[in-house]
Homo-oligomer: A and B are copies of this chain.
Amino acid sequence: MQLLEERIRRDGVVREGNVLKVDSFLNHQLDITLLAEMGKEFERLFHNCGINKILTIEASGIGVACITAQYFGCPVVFAKKSKTSNLAPDVWTARVHSFTHGNDSDIFVSRQYLTDRDKVLIIDDFLANGEALRGLISLCEQAGAQVVGAGICIEKAFQPGGEQIRSMGCRVESLARIKSMSPDGIEFC
């Protein structure tokens, strides 16, 4: 998606350790106009797939998931990262390792909101090692929900997550796929 690639080139900042900072428009400050264009593109890609639920994970997936859901006319469910005192005890859960934060966390959704009647589009801002996406797919499998596919804003295609998950048979559509990046520049696939 050209608009997103241009924005990443203009405002993305590459840091050591393969970190791409897109805080100015995607995961701290959110450019809602850009999110809307991404949402329309996800709808074009997954049109007529019968999607009745969008699943994402807190926190930075929620914005793009909500904007995207408007174009599908369906609700969003976001997986939570740690057990809160007022969540229902009946949850689907998966262990996810964060390479960014260097720790493991359990993600979960209430069983009420993810069931075998759901045809799910998973939405997330980043795909790199694929840990979060595998966790979300696992939640769907536990629920008996059908994963129609995953819509990702930015895929670090030089990291293995995307290809691993595609090879499992899951459709993954990434709006920007980064082939390589360094402080000198970013190359897209």
Query: Does A62 have its Cβ within 8 Å of any Cβ on chain B?
Result: yes
Contacts of A77 in B (CB 8 A): 28-30
Docked-complex contact B29 and A76, CB < 8 angstroms? yes
Chain A, range 26-65, C-beta contacts under 8 Å to B? 28-33, 35-36, 58-59, 62-63, 65
Contacts of A67 in B (CB 8 A): 66-67, 70
Is the contact region of chain A dominated by helix, strand, or loop, or is it mixed?
A: mixed
Docked-complex contact B110 and A75, CB < 8 angstroms? no
Residue from B19, B85, B100, B113 in contact with A28 in the complex, judged by beta carbons closer than 8 Å: B113
Contacts of A87 in B (CB 8 A): 23, 28
Query: Does A86 have its Cβ within 8 Å of any Cβ on chain B?
Result: yes
Q: Which partner residue on chain B sits nearest A84 by CB separation?
A: B101
Docked-complex contact A24 and B113, CB < 8 angstroms? yes
Q: Which partner residue on chain B sits nearest A67 by CB separation?
A: B66
Interface residues of A (CB under 8 A from B): 15, 19, 21, 23-25, 28-33, 35-36, 58-59, 62-63, 65-67, 69-70, 73-78, 80, 84-88, 100-102, 109-110, 112-113
Q: Which partner residue on chain B sits nearest A76 by CB separation?
A: B30
Residue from B23, B63, B75 in contact with A76 in the complex, judged by beta carbons closer than 8 Å: B63
Contacts of A63 in B (CB 8 A): 62-63, 65-66, 76, 78
CB distance from A16 to the nearest CB of B (A): 10
Docked-complex contact B66 and A86, CB < 8 angstroms? no
Docked-complex contact A86 and B24, CB < 8 angstroms? no
CB distance from A22 to the nearest CB of B (A): 10
